[in-house]
Amino acid sequence: MTTFIDHEWELALPVLQEYIAIPARSPMFDPDWETTGHIQRAAELLRDWASARSIPGLVVELVQVPGLTPVLLVEVPATHADLADRTVLMYGHLDKQPEMEPWAPGLGPWLPVLRGDRLYGRGGADDGYSVFAALTAIAAVHEQGGRHARVVVLIEASEESSSVHLADHLQRLLPRIGVADLVVTLDSFCESYDRLWTTTSTRGVCGGVLDIEVCADDPHSGRASGVLPSSFRILRELLDRVEDSATGRLLLSSANVQIPEHRIAEAAVAAAAFPALSSSFRPVDGVQPMGADAHEELVNETWRPALEVIGVDGLPPVADAGNVFRSRLSVKLSLRLPPTADTWAVGEEMKAVLEAQPPHGARVTLRDGARGPGWESPAFTPWLAQAAAEASMQHWGMPVASCGVGGTIPFMGMLGEQMPDAQFLLVGVLGPESNAHGPNEFLHLPTVRRVTAAVAEVLRAHAAHCSSGNT
């Protein structure tokens, strides 16, 4: 299986590189996506690659609905009749984050560069690899003469915009997909590259744009400062309503939940398997992490809310900043939420808190932004726990590890409500320094090959479990 998968990935790499070169920015970052056509080009490229796979019974369709980003839907029938009524749903996405300059010399967001075991470029690891891994895993089962249930692969194109189009697609497609008893999601992180990591929870996200206006024009700062309150000062006061700036603690009651004891214990086990989470990044000398140790850092990332300012309009570049009073600001906020927090309730509370009694009577408005539910995995059944453990030992030579992640995958929350009895395997390739969403994103090639093999092993284990008469 390893030889087959390695060979198939070598053949797939040129197509993945071609995909990286397409600036298929998610609709939040490319409002004219229908006109620019980049998402369509990426979807058609992946459709054509998928259609060329030699998998018995393969059906590939690019589902297109006016006004919605496309969905690539792949169906593969079960290998044997006794598995025909069992379904595995596999998920990924093809839309991308924006460029986020600057990249290192010789690298660029739309420039695929292969250096050793790393393939650089936007979208290779998040999440262009997913369709290649999914279909290669299915093909590997066939090549080995193995068994698998019916498999449906769904690749959407609005995930980086909080999956704004996915709910409409699922409403149309779920009757066709049916009820899956196993969901495999290929869009997560791994805390290290030395073993298989399974994700047990994802945080929710609640975003918005905070608009502050003080004055109709932009007067000389020497005249207006001390007379009018600047928009930046008002911003500082408003942010203090939702976050303790000294500790980062969120002050919104709906954003804080009781963390389950078993998740705290799980984080302790995971933390013992790798260095402090902050070591995955490159903080400048002297910067102190927010957590006291790896355990606390992991709990902070996965089960505690956190606010980030991710964009600002109204401040000129330093080189162009004249002595002008800042009359207005627009600030984009992103609030990561615990997996079980009510995303919509948090959004309502944040809006009420920020807009109430504006400081100095300024005009303050919070426009709704991204909303994505969090998700907590049900416990693995024995067959899936064993399959993941064996796959990690066989293909990495190390025990499997599990933990939550700080990112958001709205699909998980959506599907968890639709299929409460399903088992979920959430895996990924976004390990240390892979830098999803930022400059120098890369795909770690040994890990993606091993993850592909692990998925193939789980497909075979699922078939064996179903064939033994289990439900």
Q: Kindly report, residue by residue over 123-169, the tens digit of the pLDDT.
A: 999 999 999 999 999 999 999 999 999 999 999 999 999 999 999 99
Three-state secondary structure call for residue 335: strand
- For 19-170, strand residue ranges (E) read 59-63, 71-76, 87-93, 113-115, 118-120, 150-156
pLDDT of residue 281: 77
Is the model's pLDDT at 471 over the cut of 60? no
Sequence ranges of the domains in the chain: 2-202+374-467, 204-260+299-372
Is the model's pLDDT at 90 over the cut of 70? yes
CA dihedral 94, 448, 376, 351 (to 10 degrees): -40
Residue with tokens 């408003």: 238
pLDDT of residue 294: 86
pLDDT confidence bin for 277, thresholds 50/70/90: low
| Domain 2-202+374-467, CATH class in plain words | alpha beta
Question: Residues 39-80: pLDDT tens digits?
Answer: 999 999 999 999 999 999 999 999 999 999 999 999 999 999
pLDDT of residue 169: 97
Identical fold between 2-202+374-467 and 204-260+299-372? no
Q: Domain 204-260+299-372 is of which CATH architecture? A: 2-Layer Sandwich (3.30)
Over residues 446-460, the mean pLDDT reads 98
Instruction: With beta carbons less than 8 A apart as the criterion, state whether 221 and 318 touch.
Output: no
Burial of 220 (0-12, 13-18, 19+ CB in 10 A): exposed
For the chain, what percent of residues have pLDDT higher than 70?
98
> Which of 413, 443, 415, 416 minimizes the C-alpha distance to 428?
443
Residues in contact with 461: Cβ distance below 8 Å, sequence separation at least 6, in sequence order: 383, 384, 386, 387, 390
> Which tokens is 213 given?
């206006």
